[in-house]
Structure 1
C-alpha cells in the first residue's frame, strides 16, 4: 500500500520529545528500506542549546485555543511571557502524553490542565500538537519544492505498545482532527517500529556489549526490545522468522518508568530540602526560572553515568533562594544544612556542586523497576531462556546511567548481547516509516487483553445476579453479561478472524448495536461487563435489510 502514496510520513508523538520522518516513494528500496529516510535537522534550539533530532513536546495556544507554536519555540516564547508576567492569557502544555497512560474515563470531552491550571479538552491539545508537527513537515516539503496533499501521504502515528485500545483510538481521533485522513492513517507500535529499523542497521551503527551483532542474527533468534522513552518503558520480545519477518513471542509490558520519572525524582529531591510549600510556590510563581532549572537538569541527565564520581555543577535559580527567604525566612544554604545535605551540595559562586551519588539516586527508582521487569521476563518459560540479545531503543536509552545499569545487570549473562543503536532516540520514528512500507513484516502479535461483547442471555436462577434480571420482548434475560470471543495471551497472525453467532433479543429489529469490551489480566474472564478490569472500547451498528 505504501507504494501507492507519494510519501510515507511517520509522527513520533513523545512524552518529552516529538518529531517526524518521511521517505519519498521514489527513494524506497525494498532491500534496505531505511535508505533516504529524512528527519528534520531544525529541532535544535533552546537557550541552553540542547541538541536533539526531535523537539520538546511543548504546546503554546492563544486565549482562543488556537495554535501559536510548538517545541523549542513554545518553550522560549512561554518563558519570555512568564518573564514579562504576560502568560495569563495563554495556554502552555508540556509532557502531557502520559495523561493517556491510564485512559480510564478518557473521552473527547476529557479536559487536562496546562502549566497554570487552565483547562482545555485533551482532544484539542493533542490534535493541535499533531497539527504543529504536520505543519512543520509541509513547510519543510515546500522548502524542498515538493508539493503534496495530505491524501497523497501514508501517515504513521507511533504509540506505546502497552497502551490500551481506548488510548490508541483517542490518538487516531486527534490525528483526524489535525487534518490527517483516517483512511491514510496507521497506528504503529513503538517497539515494533524500532525493531524493524534495527534489522537493517550495520554493526558499526550500534554500541555493543557481547559477541553478537544484530545483522549477524539468523531466523529463530529471540531478542528483547527495551523501548525507554520520556514517559514509559515498553518491553517486548520478538523472534526473527524467515524472509526478514518478525513475530511477537512475549506480549508488550512495562510501566511509567521513562525519563520524566527521573525528573520527578529530582523535583522530589529539591522539595525534600526546601519543603513542599516552597517548591510549590517556586514552580507557580517563578515559571521562567523553573523551566531553566529543568533545562539545566536535562543537560545533566545526558552526562551522568553509574561510574560518575566527580561533583556535578548546576546553576540553581536566585529566585529559588528568594522564595525560601520569603516563605520560611531561611536561605537555601541554611535549608540544605538543616536537611543534612550540606556535605552533598556545596556552592562555588552561583553554582551548586552536587555529589554524584545524590543525583544518581534520581535514576534509581526508574532503573530498578526496569531491571526488575526485564528479569521477570527472562524467568518466564519458554521465551526467557531463548533471549540472546537485548535491543535498547528510545530517547531514555541514550542516558549513560541507563546504559551502565543495564550492562551491569545483564552484561555478564552468558551468550547475551546488549545493543544500542547510535541514534536510539530516532529509531522509533524512522522504523515507523519502514513499517509503513512493510506492514506485513510483523507476522503475529500476542493479545494484551481478552475481548468480548455485551450480551443478554436468558436469565437462569442461581446462575445470574438477580439484580440484573430484565425482560426484553417478553423474555426474562440477564443484562450486561460478558461473552468472550478471544483470550488474553492468544497469538494472532495477520488476517486472523473470529466467527461467532449472536441472537437478537428483539424480534424483527432492523438495527442491533454490538458493544465490544476488553478485560485485562487482573480479571481476564469476567462474567459481567461492569466488573473490575473491563472497559468498553466501542460499538458496532449492525443493520438488517429485508
Structure 2
C-alpha cells in the first residue's frame, strides 16, 4: 500500500506502538495539530492499570491470553494477572489456555512467514502467528475506541488513520505481515501507515525544547540546524534499531546510513539471566521450570524487571530477587540439591548466594548481564560512525539521540555516554520521554509521512529469470527440460546502499512471451550479500513475494513497465502497458 493511496487529512491520527515488552497507543485530533509544533496535544492516555500496584500506565505488557478455542480472554496487565491466577488455581489447567508474551521478536527471527506460520506460547503450545498478532492489535484498537467513546467523541472508525510502528531493521515480509494482521483486526489498507520506529523518534525529537531532554538538552538546537548529521539509537524491548539522519534546509530529513542493529534490546538481558539460572539448575531443569511452573516463572521475571531498573555503572549494591519454591523443587529433581546448594556449587558462587527465599546477586554480575548486550550495541554504533565518516566526505555524526524503553536504563545511558560523549565532538541526547518518543513520533508521521525525503536501501532487490543457458557461467543442474534456458537466475535491479527518494519509482521493462497473454508473473528476491548471489536458491537470497501484473491480452507481444517504489517505509509497485499507456492492476503478494 503506497502512502499516496492512504486517506488524506484524517480527523484523527492514532499511533499503535506494538512493542516486544510493552504496547500502547497515542492520538491527535485534526484541530489539535500544528505544523509549527506537532508534538503539542498528542494524547497518550494512562489507559492501563498494572493490577498489583494499581498504578495507571501509558503502556501495557505485550501479553495475550486466549481460551482453548482461540477466543480472546484478555490482553496486557489483565492477561498477566489472569494467567497467574489460572496457574495457582488447582481447579484450572493452564494447558487449557494459550498465553503469549514478548512474541513480537518472532517476526525478526523467522525467515519464512505465511498465514500458516505457527508460533509457540509460554507453554510451547502452537497457534497461528497471524491470529496472535491480529488479536493483539484488535485488543489495542478496541481499548482506543472505548476510550474515545468514554470521552463522548463523535469519531467513527472511517475517520481514523492508524499508524503501526515496526523496527527499521525488519524485512519487507515482516512489515507486510503486520499489515496483514492489522487488516485482519479490522483496519483497512487505506487507513493504515507503517512507521519505522527510529524515524518516528527522530521526528518527535526535532520539536522538543531544551528542557525536555534529561541529558544533552543544550545540544538540541544543533538537532534542529540544517546540515546536522545525527544517529538515532532506538533501544526497545527486543531490538536495537540504529539509523542516521541529516537535517535538510527545508526542515525534512534524509537517511544517511541504512538501518542496522540486531536483537539487543532489554529482553536480551533477560535471556542472559535465564542462561545464568540454566547454568545453575541445568538446562533441562530450567526448561521444565519455565514450562510447568509458568506463573512462578512470570513472577520471577517481573522481580528481575524491577532489578533491571536499579542497575547503574557506579553502584556496588547487592540485588535481591525472590526465588519461587518450585525452582528449588526443580533443582532437587534434576541435581539432587536445593537451589541454594546448586548456587554454592556453581560458577557463580562468588557473586551469588541464596539467603532464605532471596537470591542475592552481586552488582558485578548484574552489570555483566547488561554489559554483554550493550557491548553489541556500541560495536554496531561505532561501525555506523566509521561508515558515515568514510562514505560521506566532510560529514560526520555530531549527535547521538537515544530513545526507546531500554534507553531509560541508567546503566545503558551511562555506558553509551562514557563511550561516545566528547569523542570527535559527539554529544549524547536523551529526551525525558525516551520510552514514548517512538509512539508520539508515529502520530507526527501520520500527519507528515513525507518528512523523510530519502532512505538508504538495506537490501539488493532482483527478480528470478530464466535466461538462455550458457555452459560457461550456468549450473548444469539448473538447465530447463528443453536444455535452452537456465532456471532460478537472480538478476538484480537495484543495489543495497542506494539512496531512494520518497515516492520516486525505479522503472523496469518486461515483455510478454506469448500472444494473448493475460498476465506476467515474477518472483522478487532480496539479499544483503549481493556480490555472492548468482541464483535465487543461494544462501542469503530471500524470497520477498510474487509480483503479478494483469494485462489486456493482445495478439502482438507487449512491452510492460513496472515501477518499483522504494522510497517509503514499504515496497509498492505500479504497472503500465507501454504502447497503450494503460495502468494495470499490479501487486506484490508476500507471505502467501
Aligning the two structures, in what range does the TM-score lie when normalised by the shorter sequence?
Answer: over 0.9
CA distance in structure 2 between the aligned counterparts of 1:266 and 1:479, rounded to whole angstroms: 48
The residue correspondences of 1:523-538 to structure 2 (distance < 5 A) are 523-524=530-531, 526-538=533-545
Please point out which of 34, 39, 46 is paired with 1:34: 39
* Residues 151 and 181, structure 1, Cα contact 8 Å, conserved in 2: no
Once residues 49 and 357 of structure 1 are traced to their aligned partners in structure 2, the CA distance between those partners, rounded to angstroms, is 33
How far apart are residue 291 of structure 1 and its match?
0.7
Give yes or no for the alignment of 1:345 onto 2:355: no
Contact 2:223 2:399 in 1 (8 A): no
Q: Moved runs in structure 1, 4+ residues, more than 6 A?
A: none
Q: 2: distance between equivalents of 1:469 and 1:276? A: 48
**1:483, distance to aligned residue in structure 2 (A):** 2.2
Cα distance in 2 for residues equivalent to 1:490 and 1:497: 13
Q: Distance in 2 between matches of 1:430 and 1:343?
A: 45
Q: 2:17 aligns with which of 12, 17, 21?
A: 12
Equivalent residue number for residue 459 of structure 1:
469
Aligned counterparts of 2:200 and 2:436: Cα–Cα separation in 1: 10
In the TM superposition, residue 342 of structure 1 has moved relative to its aligned partner by 4.0
**C-alpha contact 1:210 1:415 (8 A) present in aligned 2:** no
The corresponding residue for 1:515 is 523
Q: TM-score, normalised by structure 1?
A: 0.95
- The alignment covers a number of residue pairs equal to 543
TM-score by length of 2: 0.88
Residues 394-447 of structure 1: per-residue CA shift (max 9 Å, x gap)? 111111110111011112314211011111111101100100101111000000
Q: List gaps (5 residues or longer) in structure 2.
A: 1-5, 555-592
Provide the residue aligned with 2:280 in structure 1: 273
Aligned position for 2:102: 95
Match of 1:82 in 2: 87
Q: Which moved more, 1:534-543 or 1:127-136?
A: 534-543
1:175 and 2:185 aligned: no
Q: Is the alpha carbon distance of 1:233 and 1:327 closer, same or farther for their aligned partners in structure 2, counting shifts above 3 Å? A: same
- 8 Å contact 1:316–1:351 — kept in the other structure? yes
Change (3 A) 1:79 1:485: same
Aligned to 1:399: 409
Aligned residues of 1:205 and 1:422 also touching (Cα < 8 A): yes
Aligned to 1:304: 311
- Distance in 1 (CA, whole Å) between partners of 2:34 and 2:331 is 60
Residue of structure 2 equivalent to 1:382: 391
Residue 343 of structure 2 contacts residue 354 of structure 2 at CA under 8 Å; is this kept in 1?
A: no
Aligned to 1:493: 501
Contact persistence 2:47–2:56 (CA under 8 A): no
Give the distance between the partners of 2:7 and 2:509, measured in 1 at CA: 35
RMSD: 2.0
Deviations 1:287-326 (A, max 9, x none): 1111111000001111111111111122112222233234
Q: Mind listing any 5+ residue stretches in structure 1 that lack a counterpart? A: none
In the TM superposition, what whole-angstrom CA distance separates every residue of 1:460-482 from its partner, at most 9, and x where no partner exists?
A: 3423323222268xx93222222
Q: 2:281–2:330: 8 Å Cα contact kept in structure 1? A: no
Task: Please give the alpha-carbon distance, in whole angstroms, between the structure 1 residues aligned to 2:156 and 2:123.
Answer: 37
For 1:255, the equivalent position in structure 2 comes to 262
Write out aligned runs for 1:76-475 (5 A).
76-85=81-90, 86=92, 87-209=94-216, 212-214=219-221, 217-339=224-346, 341-380=348-387, 381-383=390-392, 386-470=396-480
